[in-house]
């Protein structure tokens, strides 16, 4: 691989960490990787990076990587689909991987790749972040918390914190340089830079995103977030807390909503306080609960497909195959990752539900096994639950 295509540098005898990889700014190195539009899809698009709304509208793509360095495969995907991708500095871009995904919507491709490789993924506006599972699970919630704090700042500081711009940096920039660049953009003083180790990064860029998003993403690389001080004139870098929780409250609604929501978001803390339901969890939990739900009332839940099922002492994979056949579902999971979590294909399970929605049925299947799932229409992604 030519030096200009290297994903990280160890130059001039400096003992640097592996650099942040913002793939869209680097030359394309196909190597053994290929990313091909599915049959019937338009040719690769030309022009700037896709926006978040455009990503949702793109057709499916297929990925075929054979003994391919992870960085090369992601560069290929980024280039061919105009998709901004960031690979966390803590991951090895030279890791050789084998991956075959067919006809996956572009909006889901990052999560599917991460699931297969035992990594985490988060779509933050136009940027696909791929990194450690814990970091990926925290990122969007950290951004939401900082954005909520920015909303309470004085008008000028609020505008600066929420302004959307692109951030670029040259080859051999240090993360401290980039953080100071972001601070200068918002006219704020930055404290706590001593927590950021010296490092050299290749040239890169973040697409146009709110300032709090860009700062949160760079800080996350070092297990840091930040807090606003002196009315938004100063920011201080601080370690990410052990629990990253977003609290919101909602009208209590009809009888049974609390229990129903607990089944939909089993990892969140959900309590009824008077006429409100208080939810403490990740952004993804709140989105799952507030997504449009079919109208329902009483135990019959008219207009909602419900299921009554009793399966006892059946192998997990056999059960999933039956669900796939009867409900036209597509289950996507890494057998080795599930086996390592104690939920191999022959694990005997018991599932009993009465009048359950599809998500309630899936929760009853996976939660007792220490697994989690994400469903988009008929595609169900299953992975070990975060610890």
Tallying the residues shown for the chain, one arrives at 387
- Residue 376, domain member (yes or no): yes
Say yes or no: 259 and 322 in one domain.
no
Say yes or no: 111 and 7 in one domain.
yes
Output Rg (C-alpha) for the chain, integer angstroms. Answer: 22
Return the closest-CA partner of residue 175 out of 183, 187, 185.
183
Residue with the larger pLDDT of the pair 282 and 315: 282
Say yes or no: 254 and 166 in one domain.
no
Domain ends where: 197, 224, 239?
Answer: 239
State how far the Cα of 172 lies from the Cα of 174, in Å rounded to an integer: 6
Say yes or no: 112 and 148 in one domain.
no
State how far the Cα of 165 lies from the Cα of 46, in Å rounded to an integer: 21
Q: Give the pLDDT score at 286.
A: 86
Is the per-residue pLDDT at 169 higher than 80?
Answer: yes
Say yes or no: 34 and 121 in one domain.
yes
State how far the Cα of 83 lies from the Cα of 329, in Å rounded to an integer: 27
Say yes or no: 115 and 223 in one domain.
no
Say yes or no: 126 and 24 in one domain.
yes
Exposure b/e, 226-244, CB count within 10 A at least 16 = b = bebeeebeebbbeebeeeb
Q: Give the pLDDT score at 347.
A: 87
pLDDT grade for 108, boundaries at 50, 70 and 90: very high
pLDDT grade for 92, boundaries at 50, 70 and 90: very high
- Per-residue pLDDT tens digits for 199-256: 888 888 899 999 999 999 999 999 999 999 999 999 999 999 999 999 988 877 665 6
Q: How many domains does the chain have?
A: 4
81 alpha-carbon distance from chain centroid:
18
For 337, the domain range is 307-384
Domain ends where: 97, 112, 133?
Answer: 133
The average pLDDT across 116-142 equals: 95
Place of tokens 């979590």: 341
Would you tell me how many other CB atoms lie within 10 Å of the CB of residue 302? 10
pLDDT mean across residues, the chain: 81
Say yes or no: 224 and 185 in one domain.
yes
- Residue 300, domain member (yes or no): no
Say yes or no: 114 and 17 in one domain.
yes
- Per-residue pLDDT tens digits for 303-342: 457 777 777 677 898 889 878 877 878 888 888 888 888 8
Place of tokens 């994400």: 374
Say yes or no: 20 and 121 in one domain.
yes
- Residue 302, domain member (yes or no): no
């Amino acid at each position: 691989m030519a030096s200009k295509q290297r994903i990280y540098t160890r130059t001039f005898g400096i003992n640097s960490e592996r650099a942040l990889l913002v793939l869209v700014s680097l030359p394309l190195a196909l190597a053994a990787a290929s990313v091909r539009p599915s049959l019937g899809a338009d040719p690769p698009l030309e022009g700037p990076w896709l926006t978040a709304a455009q990503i949702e509208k793109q057709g499916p793509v297929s990925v075929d990587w054979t003994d391919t360095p992870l960085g090369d495969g992601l560069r290929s995907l980024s280039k061919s689909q105009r998709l901004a991708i960031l690979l966390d500095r803590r991951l090895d871009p030279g890791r050789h991987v084998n991956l075959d995904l067919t006809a996956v919507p572009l909006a889901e491709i990052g999560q599917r790749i991460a699931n297969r490789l035992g990594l985490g993924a988060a779509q933050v506006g136009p940027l696909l972040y791929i990194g450690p599972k814990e970091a990926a699970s925290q990122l969007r919630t950290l951004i939401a918390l900082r954005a909520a704090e920015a909303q309470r700042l004085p008008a000028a500081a609020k505008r600066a914190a929420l302004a959307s711009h692109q951030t670029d940096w040259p080859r051999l920039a240090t993360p401290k340089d980039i953080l100071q660049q972001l601070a200068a953009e918002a006219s704020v003083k930055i404290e706590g830079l001593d927590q950021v180790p010296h490092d050299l990064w290749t040239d890169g860029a973040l697409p146009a995103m709110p300032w709090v998003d860009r700062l949160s993403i760079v800080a996350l690389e070092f297990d840091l977030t930040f807090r606003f001080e002196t009315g938004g004139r100063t920011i201080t870098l601080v370690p990410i807390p052990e629990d990253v929780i977003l609290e919101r409250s909602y009208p209590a609604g009809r009888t049974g909503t609390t229990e129903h929501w607990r089944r939909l978001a089993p990892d969140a803390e959900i309590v009824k306080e008077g006429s409100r339901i208080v939810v403490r969890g990740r952004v993804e939990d709140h989105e799952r609960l507030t997504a449009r739900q079919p109208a329902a009332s009483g135990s019959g839940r008219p207009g909602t497909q419900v299921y009554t099922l009793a399966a006892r002492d059946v192998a997990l994979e056999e059960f999933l195959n039956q669900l796939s056949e009867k409900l036209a579902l597509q289950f996507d999971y890494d057998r080795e990752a599930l086996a390592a979590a104690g939920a191999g294909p022959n694990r005997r399970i018991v599932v009993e539900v009465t009048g359950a929605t599809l998500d309630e049925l899936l929760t009853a299947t996976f939660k007792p096994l220490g697994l989690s799932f994400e469903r988009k229409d008929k595609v169900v992604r299953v992975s070990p639950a975060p610890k």
